[in-house]
Amino acid sequence: MPPPPPLPLAGVTVVSLEQAVAAPFATRQLADLGARVIKVERPGGGDFARRYDTTVRGQASYFVWLNRSKESITLDLKTERGLAILEELVAGADVFVQNLAPGAAARLGFGAEELRERHSSLITCTVSGYGTDGPWADRKAYDLLLQCQTGLLQLTGTPDEAARAGISVADIAGGMYAYSGILSALYTRATTGRAPAVEVSLFDALAEWMGQPAYYTRYGGTQPPRVGARHATVAPYGPFTASDGKDVLLSVQNEREWAALCRAFIGRPELADDPRFATGSDRVAHREALDAIISERFAELDSDAAMELLDRTGIANAGVNSVHEFLAHPVLTERGRWQDIRVPGTTDPVQALLPPAILSGVTPRMDPVPEAGEHTEAILAELGHGPDDIAGLREEGVCS
């Protein structure tokens, strides 16, 4: 059997001065595609995200999710020797990623402009909170703060209380744009020889995801209301409780589906022509009355019967799952989407999801999550540092 073809990013080296979520999410996806990702961490603990929790075989759930298939080197960048080693690493890299506090990389001499002057073929990627210029360039930015600043927090929750989105949506958005920006820059360098710098702010990333409510508010005069698990501008689109107590979400997207719901599910075909519900806007305006009618029908059916009838009617629906139910979802289990990976401190594997983008003929890389500094000695040796020099660096606290 011939060996498998190389992964798409095999031969690409990424050095990442990263922490928390956004930059590690970007670089992990590069590692999935075969890039060598060298993660630079602090001696004596490493990336602070390692200590967010201890739920995954003693490791943090965020860190396990974001850092598989990477190599970890610890360097004290407050020392001249630590900075010199970082420079050695960057000199041999294709991509340099950093999401340090505002201005920190530049103060170390590793700002994007300085690096591009020293290494013309290096692609730099800066992940910031509010951009590297402008009035908020120096402000710290954490996920929930960005949900507040973009207005997202005012769109989620109930009429009585706003609610945080249940995942780190600003960090994820920023990481995705950093990842796609780096891929675009690599393509540009390969086709033109020019290595463009990439910059992504978490604010800009989440602002883009706020596009629909932004248009709705600017040109409609009011922002979409908070309506819990229901859709703010489409109805009926939300959960209803069946007779067995399980919630089932249904979604009607057009007049044809609305007529079918009235006829085959609710059993009242005349509702399709009721002026209160004749158009999508009418149904949103009379949501309370509409939901009451649909709720009455759900009270007559258990969840399985309701979903079966909705399926036959051609109405999109789904049970409202817990995370436990999601973990056992047949769309994941029957398609082999889970794969074992190793984490530090245990021989027991943990399950990780394969990357969402499926490339024909490509098996993504799913290597272990590294311990802090696990690859320090090997990387230093690769750079030409002998055993005595490495021991001296450790004694000086430059690395661990």
**Catalytic residue list:** 231
Tokens of 19: 């922490």
Closest CA to 393 of 35, 5, 379: 379
Give the full edge-to-edge strand order of the sheet including 316-319.
237-241, 247-251, 316-319
Spatial CB neighbours of 344, under 8 Å, sequence gap ≥ 6: 59, 368, 369, 370, 371, 374
> Taking the C-alpha atoms of 290, 280, 246 and 318 in order, what is their torsion angle to the nearest 10 degrees?
160
Q: Can you tell me whether residue 38 is helix, strand or coil?
A: strand
DSSP type of residue 330 = H
Residue 198's DSSP bridge partners are: 125
Sequence letter at residue 230: R
333 alpha-carbon distance from chain centroid: 22
Sign, CA torsion 247/248/249/252: negative
CB 82 within 8 A of CB 76: yes
Closest CA to 146 of 120, 132, 119, 167: 167
CB 126 within 8 A of CB 204: no
Calpha distance 3→237 (Å, rounded): 49
Calpha distance 137→129 (Å, rounded): 7
> Taking the C-alpha atoms of 154, 158, 163 and 168 in order, what is their torsion angle to the nearest 10 degrees?
-90
Spatial CB neighbours of 84, under 8 Å, sequence gap ≥ 6: none
Tokens of 177: 């744009």
Calpha distance 397→376 (Å, rounded): 13
